[in-house]
Structure 1
Amino acid sequence: MDILDRVAVLRGAGRDVISLCAGEPSGGAPAEVSHAAASLHASGRALTYTSALGIRELRAEVAAHYGRWYGVDVDPSRVAITTGSSGAFLLAFLAAFEAGDRVALARPGYPAYRNILRALGCEVVEMDCGPEVRYQPTPELLAAAHGQGRLAGLVLASPANPTGTMVSRAELAAVTAWCLEHGVRLVSDEIYHGVTYPEPGAPDPRGVCAWELDESAVVISSFSKYWGMTGWRLGWMLLPEDLVRAVDALAGNVALCPPAPAQYAAVAAFTAESYAECDEAVAEFGRTRRLLLDHADRLAWGPAAPADGAFYYYADLGPQLATWGSSSAYAAALLEQAGVALTPGGDFDDRAGACSVRLSFAAGSLAVGEAIERIVAFQQR
């Protein structure tokens, strides 16, 4: 967010800056959703508080979505609409864990997990998940962490931020079985489902939902990524039965309800037209990813994660570190001198992150293509 603030300052001063630091699709909401929002506001309808867990029609649409994509029968009463996935993580952690509980995460990983957990008094157990395990937790890593003190939970993301890596059905089944055997609550972050790049005919092309394997898991998702609705601040959870009442009570205290206008408009996200529009946006992400991978040698960085899904390229800076010393110094210079904003890896990994950067290719092929040229020129100075 500090980098985004600096981008805004530079643009305000007239600088041409390509921002590849935020995980934000450039296309925005599907047309059907925008039309629904415009009609809602034009109607003059009073927008009052909704149920703490969201309007019934949106919860029903989310439940039906799981039947279409995963063949999972979801009771709408176990769907909670939240203020973004951020609100979902806060409510899930409050409901599922107590202060002092040990909760495991992959490192590198999304920093808000650990920041929210620590703010709530939980002990964060970061497992070093490198390329040898495709940056994802394994039963062996969990067993080692559990042996040092009982784990209460595991947060697993597939596709993951910042690496874009995914777990297969077999891998998720193994982790789920381990969690069930040891009484560890699985929180499955699935906000990038649908933003994936499978080979033709690959199984589970959108990702595997944890509820296909275990309905005692908490599943968290969002309208921000596949639907491109970041600023609408709308996410959801699939809740185990034992957490529904707790989350309902907490939600009414934390935010009263999710944003009402966004909820009513988001019902249109589940039309055939909206799905088609979002699939085309994902196809464009795929073309941009291909462009980036085809030019990876020109960047002259080090090893990178495979980016199975999401829209991130997470790479070691390799030989560039000899000049700049750290990814933070490199990213700062690149922004000021070349007008390209990347995210240094320190937020994602407080050990090895100083050597890595995350490039978001959500901005599209034109922006990424121009950024590559600027990066190459910057490194040749």
Structure 2
Amino acid sequence: MGTMQLSRRGSVPPFQVMSILRRVGELRAEGRDVISLCAGEPSGGAAPAVNAAAAAVHAGGESLNYTPAAGLPELRAAIAGHYARWYSTAVDPREVVVTTGASGAFMLAFLAAFEAGDAVAIARPGYPAYRNILTALGLRVVEIPCGPETRYQPTPELLDAAKKEHGRLAGLILASPANPTGTMATRPELEALSAWCAANDARLISDEIYHGITYPEPGAADPLGVSAREFGTDAVVISSFSKFWGMPGWRVGWLLAPSELAEGIEALAGNVALCPPAAAQRAAVHAFDEEAYAFGAAQLEEFARTRAALLERLPELGWGEAAPADGAFYLYAQLGPALGAFPDASAWCSALLEEEGVALTPGSDFDGVHGGGAVRLSFAAGPEAVRRAVERILVFQERHAR
């Protein structure tokens, strides 16, 4: 048998979180008690109104046929109404494209906005799927090193330096709140980045999936987060029902498409996925009911309590520098002395999972340069899970102390 060609597009590294989740499942199947703090999965689930709507859809006996490629008209209208509610910003429902999770929105946006070979900037540390999807599509990834001095967010000055080194940047992917650091761009910072992109003909892709999960100081001007849509219609704004609405496995997200990209994005959507999941779309309409907003706000209060308790115990863990976690539900920190004799955080996390049944994500997934000694802990699982995990981590660290 001859050797068939393999595409280099498939040679991207796996998203480590998914590999860790697979091992978590194996250990649980063996009867192990595993606390999974490796993924951004809110423990509270969807609002009762959403669950009830989903149950009604499936109990109704009607066929779940394809929806329009850009999503159900009533869901697109509800999403547009959400921007008026949260951001006092007008959005035409025709600008909304419902997608198969935010991941589907990234794929459609990247395909429609960029040509193969274009350079697209992302922050480092950052969500690894940005880098891996861009690479698989034949785009050049330009990593912007973002440390504590810029609160882990890119700046116009850093983009100027990247452009000088790498040439024209076709786009910038910005996440606020960011994964894994939880840091946020302020209104002036996001406005400055939007202006830089406009002046440099770079398409801004604004990942706003964690909006609503923020921990602002009392009286903050933008307690829910600032949307790039507030500064014009050139940016592709991406969000999802996975985080604030607690619906990660429902696989429904959306994007706001600039007018010149809308036709191409909808055509791609119809070819790539035909439509997002029909039942999940119908239920997601009820994510914008008053009850569902209230449910999300209650979940946020629990995230805030869990975050506060975790930060209180951080000195006890003895880890090194940690990002401030202004939003989302992650703590990203250098292990520092707690790394002990392990060569890197990947080995440390693997041993922690096998020995103590606690799953964290090594920082190398988010930063291939400085992430080797860092970990990301998701506190979305709630206060009791985090409390138990911290106790196990302390036992593990004591066992492996130098």
Report the TM-score when normalising by structure 1: 0.99
- Structure 1 residue aligned with 2:366, among 334, 338, 348? 348
Q: Are 1:145 and 2:171 counterparts?
A: no
Residue 338 (structure 1) shift: 1.1
Residue 214 (structure 1) shift: 2.1
- Structure 2 residue aligned with 1:108, among 120, 125, 128? 125
State the SS of the aligned residue for 2:82. helix
State the SS of the aligned residue for 2:341. helix
Residue 378 (structure 1) shift: 1.1
Task: State the match for 1:287 in structure 2.
Answer: 305
> For residues 138 and 353 of structure 2, what CA distance do their matches in structure 1 show?
36
State the SS of the aligned residue for 1:357. strand
State the SS of the aligned residue for 1:324. coil
- Structure 2 residue aligned with 1:129, among 116, 136, 146? 146
User: What whole-Å deviation, never above 9, does each CA across 1:201-224 have from its counterpart, x for those lacking one?
Assistant: 111001000010121000000000
Task: State the match for 2:321 in structure 1.
Answer: 303
- AA paired with 2:162? A
Task: State the match for 2:292 in structure 1.
Answer: 274
Task: State the match for 2:98 in structure 1.
Answer: 81
User: What whole-Å deviation, never above 9, does each CA across 1:45-92 have from its counterpart, x for those lacking one?
Assistant: 111111000000000000000000000000000000000000000000
Task: State the match for 1:180 in structure 2.
Answer: 198
Task: State the match for 1:231 in structure 2.
Answer: 249
State the SS of the aligned residue for 1:81. strand
Task: State the match for 2:276 in structure 1.
Answer: 258
Task: State the match for 1:191 in structure 2.
Answer: 209
User: What whole-Å deviation, never above 9, does each CA across 1:227-250 have from its counterpart, x for those lacking one?
Assistant: 000010000001111010000110
Task: State the match for 1:214 in structure 2.
Answer: 232
- AA paired with 1:69? W
Number of aligned positions between the proteins: 381
- Structure 1 residue aligned with 2:79, among 62, 74, 82? 62
Which stretch of the first structure deviates more once superposed, 32-41 or 320-329? 320-329
Q: Are 1:35 and 2:35 counterparts?
A: no
Residue 14 (structure 1) shift: 1.0
Residue 377 (structure 1) shift: 1.3
State the SS of the aligned residue for 1:330. helix
- AA paired with 1:71? S
- AA paired with 1:28? G
State the SS of the aligned residue for 1:155. strand
> For residues 320 and 33 of structure 1, what CA distance do their matches in structure 2 show?
42
Task: State the match for 2:389 in structure 1.
Answer: 371
Counterpart mapping for 1:160-179 below 5 A: 160-179=178-197
Structure 1 residue runs of 4 or more that deviate by more than 3 Å after TM superposition: none
Percent sequence identity over matched residues? 65
Task: State the match for 2:36 in structure 1.
Answer: 19
Residue 199 (structure 1) shift: 1.1
- AA paired with 1:318? G
Report the TM-score when normalising by structure 2: 0.94
> For residues 339 and 73 of structure 1, what CA distance do their matches in structure 2 show?
47
User: What whole-Å deviation, never above 9, does each CA across 1:224-283 have from its counterpart, x for those lacking one?
Assistant: 000000010000001111010000110000000000000011100000000000110011
The answer for unaligned runs of 5 or more in structure 1 is: none
Q: Are 1:242 and 2:272 counterparts?
A: no
The answer for unaligned runs of 5 or more in structure 2 is: 1-17
User: What whole-Å deviation, never above 9, does each CA across 1:308-342 have from its counterpart, x for those lacking one?
Assistant: 00000000000023421200011011111111110
